[in-house]
Amino acid sequence: MKRSFLGVLLLGLCAIWISDARADPPIKYAIAVHGGAGNGWLRLDGEERIEVHTSIKQAVIIGRDILAKGGTSLDAVEQVIRHLEDDPIFNAGKGAVFNSAGGHELDASIMDGRGRSCGAVAGVKTVRNPISLARLVMTRTRHVFLSSDGADVFAKEMNVDLVDQKYFWTQRRYDAWQRVKAKQKDDHKGTVGCVALDSHGNLAAGTSTGGLTNKLYGRIGDSPIVGAGTYADNNTCAVSCTGVGEHYIRNAIAYDVSARMAYRKQPVEDAVSEIFEKTLIADKGQVGGIIAVTHDGKITMQFNTKAMARGAADSSGRFDVVLVAD
Ligand code: ASP
């Protein structure tokens, strides 16, 4: 009797041990990247689509390699976004859209999930890589947010790469500006963002944009606003948003993803889909996307436009890059 009881116990323990050994290993690092949500991506010709796909793929590789070597999520986010800012096909850095005055004003923010330190710049006109300036605001000042001329002066002091406004002139964005001025639809695609979990367990998020085509001079969108377009907290997740920024600002969307996880214990997937279904639709903000990665490496990339350029990778070998809706 005693023997058979022991036998059953041993068998049970073995079963638990085997099922544990088969369980997926925990995700050590994970990264997700977006290149903006918008129906306009569908109007690209074949070659342009390949260009976008290739660039997002390169961005994911840059970030994944940093994380795989034990680098930090902040470095991954900054380097991924710098790469996308230098590519004229995205509405960030080089490819920034035109504002109503025919100029370019760039916005960016970055956040460290460790202690919620963050940095942001808005309305900068001479900075090649606004995401790096945002990081410098975080690490080299006692502030979190610098705007317009003050941010450009700070950029000079920090010796970052400065460029002339002409640097941001691209035919694609000029044509888009003409279309929007002629009252045609703005397909607002091309803002870039990145969220990452590193092997030290730290999250980071960043977003960079030229804003909306023909935006009023001085308009600031959600991308540089921590809690609206960007958020990161090691206890929950890192978030980067894209879409018509006004909806994201008034609904504190990036923070809401994190708050839903913290207070309602919602899985990130559900938190983001409920924000689309309830908050953004009710606010008629039915055009945009959200990417997030959690403290345990779960990635979600959701949008309600017809397309969002995006990619993801993690330590389990996941690697994907997609442009249109699945
Ligand atoms: N969210 C950006 C803004 O409103 C634009 C975009 O994501 O396409 O400035």
Is it the case that residue 18 has pLDDT exceeding 60?
A: no
pLDDT value of position 40: 81
pLDDT value of position 25: 86
pLDDT value of position 8: 62
* Per-residue confidence band for 14, with pLDDT thresholds at 50, 70 and 90: low
- Per the CB < 8 A criterion, the answer to whether 242 and 285 are in contact is no
Q: Can you tell me the distance from the alpha carbon of 66 to that of 75, in angstroms, rounded to the nearest whole number?
A: 7
- In what helix (H) or strand (E) does residue 115 lie, and over which residues does it extend? none
pLDDT value of position 129: 98
Domain definitions of the chain by residue range: 27-322
pLDDT value of position 50: 93
Between 65 and 47, the more confident residue is 65
Is it the case that residue 3 has pLDDT exceeding 60?
A: no
Domain 27-322 in CATH 3.40.50.12780: no
Residue nearest atom 9 of ligand 1, based on CA coordinates: 211
Q: What is the DSSP string of 52-100?
A: HHHHHHHHHHHHHHHHHTT--HHHHHHHHHHHHHTSTTSSSGGGPPP-T
Q: Can you tell me the distance from the alpha carbon of 301 to that of 194, in angstroms, rounded to the nearest whole number?
A: 11
* Per-residue confidence band for 142, with pLDDT thresholds at 50, 70 and 90: very high
Share of the chain above pLDDT 90, in %: 82
Mean pLDDT, rounded, for 279-290: 80
pLDDT value of position 324: 77
Mean pLDDT, rounded, for 221-242: 98
pLDDT value of position 184: 74
Q: Can you tell me the distance from the alpha carbon of 135 to that of 154, in angstroms, rounded to the nearest whole number?
A: 12
The residue whose CB lies within 8 Å of the most ligand 1 atoms, and thus the one to mutate among 223, 230, 249, 280, is: 223
Joined tokens for residue 310: 């995006």
Is it the case that residue 11 has pLDDT exceeding 90?
A: no
Q: Can you tell me the distance from the alpha carbon of 235 to that of 148, in angstroms, rounded to the nearest whole number?
A: 33
The single-letter code of the amino acid at 22 is R
Joined tokens for residue 269: 């997937």
Q: Which of 191, 213, 294, 300 is catalytic?
A: 191
Cα torsion 38, 39, 45, 49: sign: positive
- pLDDT, one tens digit per residue, over 91-122 is 999 999 999 999 999 999 999 999 999 999 99
Mean pLDDT, rounded, for 218-241: 98
The residue whose CB lies within 8 Å of the most ligand 1 atoms, and thus the one to mutate among 107, 212, 283, is: 212
Mean pLDDT, rounded, for 123-152: 98
170 a catalytic residue: no
Instruction: State in Å: Cα 211 to ligand 1 middle.
Output: 5
Instruction: State in Å: Cα 147 to ligand 1 middle.
Output: 17
Between 85 and 7, the more confident residue is 85
- Strands of the 299-303 sheet, one edge to the other: 230-232, 237-243, 288-294, 299-303
The residue whose CB lies within 8 Å of the most ligand 1 atoms, and thus the one to mutate among 97, 208, 209, 220, is: 209
Q: Which residues line ligand 1 (CB under 6 A)?
A: 36, 188, 191, 209, 211-212, 221-223, 229, 242-245
pLDDT value of position 188: 66
Mean pLDDT, rounded, for 222-247: 97
As a whole number, the mean pLDDT across the chain is 92
* Per-residue confidence band for 1, with pLDDT thresholds at 50, 70 and 90: very low
- Nearest atom, ligand 1, residue 288 CA: 7
Residue 239, CA distances (Å) to 55, 188, 270, 279 in order: 21, 19, 14, 16
Mean pLDDT, rounded, for 112-139: 98
Instruction: State in Å: Cα 191 to ligand 1 middle.
Output: 6
Mean pLDDT, rounded, for 184-190: 74
